[in-house]
Amino acid sequence: MNNFAYTQAASTKEATAAKAADKQAAFIGGGTALIDLMKSNIEQHSLLIDINKLSMLGIENAATGLRIGALERMSDVGEHPLVVQNYPVISQSLLASASPQLRNMASMGGNLLQRTRCGYFRDTAFPCNKRQPGSGCPALVGDNRTLAILGGSASCIATHASDLAVALVALEARLTLESPKGTTRTVPLADFYKLPGATPNIENHLQPGELITAITVPAAAHARKSHYLKVRDRASYAYALVSAAVGLDVQGGTIRSARVALGGVGTVPWRVLAVEKYLVGKPATEENFRAAAALAVRDAKPYEHNKFKLELAQRTIVRALLEVV
Amino acid sequence: MHSDDQTPDAAGPLPQGPSRRSFLKQTGGLLGVALAPPIASQAEALADKMAPASPIISGQASMSLNINGQARNLRLEPRTTLLDALRENLDLTGTKKGCDHGQCGACTVLVDGRRVNACLTLAVMTQGKQIQTIEGLAQGDELHPMQEAFLRHDGFQCGYCTPGQIMSGVACVKEGHATTDDQAREWMSGNICRCGAYPNILAAVREVAGQQAKG
Ligand SMILES: Cc1cc2nc3c(=O)[nH]c(=O)nc-3n(C[C@H](O)[C@H](O)[C@H](O)COP(=O)(O)OP(=O)(O)OC[C@H]3O[C@@H](n4cnc5c(N)ncnc54)[C@H](O)[C@@H]3O)c2cc1C
Ligand code: SF4
Ligand code: FES
Ligand code: FES
């Protein structure tokens, strides 16, 4: 790990200004992603700006929806009664992530900005377009078992690793961002992430110095009836091979609204609107779930070792939907 | 609860010069006769806006860590992890380094009562917090019930993961996450054991959870 300077910001203004003034600086929340990357020399930073003293806390549920401060820890949000009751998919996605220790440390904002677990990205002995633009992508013809079948490009097929982001994209969550000028804006999380295209090194639309201060999730009947199903190589403490975040509002046996997003298959958290559209207005039956799930992978482009995700993604959607009817 | 994750303002031993506000308060005191209160508060508001940036630490700096109830003063670079500070600087080698990347749990310690991975924690960020390591668990010669239970159930083979397992087990029981075998398995999954002593580790954790449930 390179040597760096450290400061603890006393205000969001101070934090964003310090970051805007130094291109090599980084915010540090829980540090579980950042320190890991810095130890492996995947990232180098001149200055770490500790944001833990900033007042970006709180888990509040109003009639309009849920608001979570960006510094809330994964463990506290995952077990918060308001979240467990009204937004089970968020709680379940968090408690299926990482380990109890890591969840005690990791912040919500940091979680959404974690970087891919693609093995080539994580090993500086290999070229990688995301880590070193223009150097190439060994995964296209190499070991791509865990990588994406949706949203990839000739430059990169790395999956987005966050479970939380899949749940939040399904529920149409928004981020509140604060700029160094002190202005705030909100963006749908789904639009925040960028497809890799020719520049896989640019992963989101965060502006220089911008800080995530909060996450908001609109209230909805399908949010209360929601579920996160994560399929992985071992039962716990592992990233998703495939995951599904689903929510259904069923009345009198008919689906009124549906939300379905996939993890582990896309280069960004992957909402499948075609599946949702198919389900609305139809009876909530396994048969319909199957027919809908087939639409999720219609445009998929599998690689040598990850063809299994085509079938697995569909089965994961069906099983997750069966949990909420 | 959330204040657990915050470094207290005053307690943190970061070098902190007199703030502009307190300077103005002092001069306000001296010039108090001339300054009417509204002007003084305007000046304070201005001073807040122009507040000097928080100090930047680079290179070796003095820090104070509270470990097992004792203040330990040392000089560290900001990049030193809590794990390295414990093992290399303080000779507290009970906490183990397995993967150094958050993937095994060997480095588990408690910070303000919550279990964390010391390998991904910067020492500089733990100032003002209570750190508990495996060395701080026993009361003199009297072992902690979790240590006793690991002995009784043979909760280890090579013993390398054991300090982390024990610290994690203590937290797991306290959190109320060891009420069934399945729940304890899931909530102990952040601690890997290469020897596969899992059934015995589980038995130890569940026994302590049972003792505490009985009170
Ligand atoms: C072994 C291991 C297993 C894991 N397993 C999973 C898993 O199964 N599922 C999963 O989803 N995740 C998993 N993770 C990832 C983990 O969830 C993330 O590391 C964690 O959520 C990051 O949060 P943090 O607060 O520690 O972020 P940090 O490391 O502090 O920051 C991460 C990035 O975000 C930036 N940042 C932080 N906060 C803000 C903010 N408020 N505004 C702007 N920028 C900010 C930082 O500058 C940095 O670039 C795992 C991690 C490890 C090490
Ligand atoms: S898939 Fe993306 S992250 Fe992985 S090696 Fe290729 S460019 Fe790098
Ligand atoms: S040494 Fe910290 S988790 Fe492995
Ligand atoms: S006892 Fe050997 S690693 Fe657990």
Probe site for chain B from A4, A22, A42, A104 (most B CB atoms < 10 A)? A104
In this structure, the answer to whether residues A100 and A246 fall within a common structural domain is no
Contacts of A52 in chain B (CB under 8 A): 5-7, 125
Residue A126 lies in a domain: no
Residue A155 lies in a domain: no
Q: Do A101 and B78 touch (CB under 8 A)?
A: no
Residue A226 lies in a domain: yes
Question: What is the rounded CA–CA span in Å between residue B162 and residue B164?
Answer: 5
Find the ligand nearest to B104 CA. 3
In this structure, the answer to whether residues A80 and A187 fall within a common structural domain is yes
Contacts of A5 in chain B (CB under 8 A): 56-58, 78
Q: In the structure encoding, which two tokens stand for residue A323, read together?
A: 């949990």
Q: How much is the pTM?
A: 0.91
Residue B96's pLDDT band, with cuts at 50, 70 and 90, is very high
- The set of residues, in sequence order, having a beta carbon less than 8 Å from that of A252 and lying 6+ positions away, is none
Contacts of A7 in chain B (CB under 8 A): 53-57
What's the A128 CA to ligand 3 centre distance in angstroms? Answer: 26
Residue A92 lies in a domain: yes
- The larger pLDDT score, comparing residue A285 to residue B53, is at A285
What is the number of H-type helices and E-type strands within chain A?
Answer: 13, 12
Question: What is the rounded CA–CA span in Å between residue A76 and residue A95?
Answer: 10
Kindly report, residue by residue over A22-49, the tens digit of the pLDDT: 999 999 999 999 999 999 999 999 999 9
Q: Could you tell me if the CB of B159 is within 6 A of ligand 4?
A: yes
Nearest partner of B125 among B16, B12, B15, B17, judged by Cα: B12
In a structure prediction context, what are the per-residue pLDDT tens digits for chain A, which is 325 residues long? 999 999 999 999 999 999 999 999 999 999 999 999 999 999 999 999 999 999 999 999 999 999 999 999 999 999 999 999 999 999 999 999 999 999 999 999 999 999 999 999 999 999 999 999 999 999 999 999 999 999 999 999 999 999 999 999 999 999 999 999 999 999 999 999 999 999 999 999 999 999 999 999 999 999 999 999 999 999 999 999 999 999 999 999 999 999 999 999 999 999 999 999 999 999 999 999 999 999 999 999 999 999 999 999 999 999 999 999 9
Q: In the structure encoding, which two tokens stand for residue A32, read together?
A: 């579980």
Question: Which pLDDT score, from 0 to 100, does residue B27 have?
Answer: 33
In this structure, the answer to whether residues A301 and A188 fall within a common structural domain is no
Coil, strand or helix: which one is A84?
helix
Residue B215's pLDDT band, with cuts at 50, 70 and 90, is low
Strand partners, B110: B115, B132
In this structure, the answer to whether residues A168 and A265 fall within a common structural domain is no
Burial class, A208, CB count within 10 angstroms (exposed 0-12 / middle 13-18 / buried 19+): exposed
In the block, residue with structure tokens 């700029």: A179
> Residue A115: phi, psi to the nearest 5?
-110, 170
Question: Which pLDDT score, from 0 to 100, does residue A203 have?
Answer: 98
Find the ligand nearest to B98 CA. 3
- The larger pLDDT score, comparing residue B8 to residue B182, is at B182
Residue A211 near residue A231 (C-beta atoms within 8 A): no
| B101, B109, B111, B165: residue to mutate for ligand 3 pocket, most atoms within 8 A of CB | B101
Chain A and chain B share a number of CB contacts under 8 A equal to 120
Nearest partner of A163 among A258, A236, A213, judged by Cα: A236
- The set of residues, in sequence order, having a beta carbon less than 8 Å from that of B45 and lying 6+ positions away, is none
Atom of ligand 4 nearest to the CA of B195: 2
Probe site for chain A from B7, B50, B97, B115 (most A CB atoms < 10 A)? B115
If you take atom 3 of ligand 3, which residue's CA is the nearest one?
B102
Question: What is the rounded CA–CA span in Å between residue B120 and residue A31?
Answer: 7
Residue A163 near residue A207 (C-beta atoms within 8 A): no
In this structure, the answer to whether residues A90 and A4 fall within a common structural domain is no
Q: Do A101 and B79 touch (CB under 8 A)?
A: no
Q: Do A76 and B2 touch (CB under 8 A)?
A: yes
In this structure, the answer to whether residues A200 and A226 fall within a common structural domain is no
In this structure, the answer to whether residues A237 and A213 fall within a common structural domain is no
Question: Which pLDDT score, from 0 to 100, does residue B39 have?
Answer: 39
In this structure, the answer to whether residues A68 and A191 fall within a common structural domain is yes
What's the B42 CA to ligand 2 centre distance in angstroms? Answer: 55
Residue A258 lies in a domain: yes
Query: Does position B50 have pLDDT exceeding 80, yes or no?
Result: no
Contacts of A104 in chain B (CB under 8 A): 114-116
Q: In what order do the strands lie in the sheet with A26-28?
A: A26-28, A47-50, A5-8, B56-57
Question: Which pLDDT score, from 0 to 100, does residue B10 have?
Answer: 35
Q: In the structure encoding, which two tokens stand for residue B198, read together?
A: 């899992």
Question: Which pLDDT score, from 0 to 100, does residue B117 have?
Answer: 98
Q: Do A76 and B6 touch (CB under 8 A)?
A: no
In this structure, the answer to whether residues A171 and A274 fall within a common structural domain is no
Out of A52, A74, A93, pick the residue that ends a domain: A52
In this structure, the answer to whether residues A91 and A175 fall within a common structural domain is yes
Task: Locate all alpha helices (DSSP H) within chain B, ordered by sequence.
Answer: 20-30, 37-49, 82-84, 145-152, 162-175, 181-187, 198-214
Residue B212's pLDDT band, with cuts at 50, 70 and 90, is confident
Residue B96 near residue A9 (C-beta atoms within 8 A): no
In the block, residue with structure tokens 């002007």: B39
Query: Does position B38 have pLDDT exceeding 90, yes or no?
Result: no
Question: Which pLDDT score, from 0 to 100, does residue B2 have?
Answer: 38
Pairing state of beta strands A47-50 and A26-28? parallel
Q: Do A7 and B53 touch (CB under 8 A)?
A: yes
Residue A121 lies in a domain: no
Question: Which pLDDT score, from 0 to 100, does residue B12 have?
Answer: 37
Q: Do A237 and B102 touch (CB under 8 A)?
A: no
Quote the number of domains for chain A: 3
Find the ligand nearest to A132 CA. 2
Residue A145 lies in a domain: no
In this structure, the answer to whether residues A197 and A272 fall within a common structural domain is no
Residue A133 lies in a domain: no
The domain spans of chain B are 60-136, 138-215
Name residues 30-69 of chain B within 8 A of A (Cβ): 51, 53-59
What's the A134 CA to ligand 2 centre distance in angstroms? Answer: 11
Find the ligand nearest to B165 CA. 4
Question: Which pLDDT score, from 0 to 100, does residue B213 have?
Answer: 79
- The larger pLDDT score, comparing residue A204 to residue B50, is at A204
Looking up residue A100, the CATH number of its domain turns out to be 3.30.465.10
In the block, residue with structure tokens 């990205």: A121
Q: What is the CATH code for B60-136?
A: 3.10.20.30
In this structure, the answer to whether residues A202 and A264 fall within a common structural domain is no
What mean pLDDT comes out for the span B134-147?
97
Q: Could you tell me if the CB of A87 is within 6 A of ligand 2?
A: no
Atom of ligand 4 nearest to the CA of B165: 4
Closest residue, chain A, to B108 (C-alpha): A101
Kindly report, residue by residue over B155-171, the tens digit of the pLDDT: 999 999 999 999 999 99
Q: CATH says B138-215 is which class?
A: mainly alpha
Name residues 103-122 of chain B within 8 A of A (Cβ): 105, 108, 114-117, 120-122
Question: What is the rounded CA–CA span in Å between residue A13 and residue A209?
Answer: 10
Residue B179 near residue B209 (C-beta atoms within 8 A): yes
Residue B72 near residue B64 (C-beta atoms within 8 A): yes
| A40, A118, A159: residue to mutate for ligand 2 pocket, most atoms within 8 A of CB | A118
From A154's Cα to the closest Cα of chain B, the distance in A is 30
Q: Do A6 and B177 touch (CB under 8 A)?
A: no
Closest residue, chain B, to A69 (C-alpha): B2
The range of the structural domain enclosing residue A6 comes to 1-52
Query: Does position B23 have pLDDT exceeding 50, yes or no?
Result: no
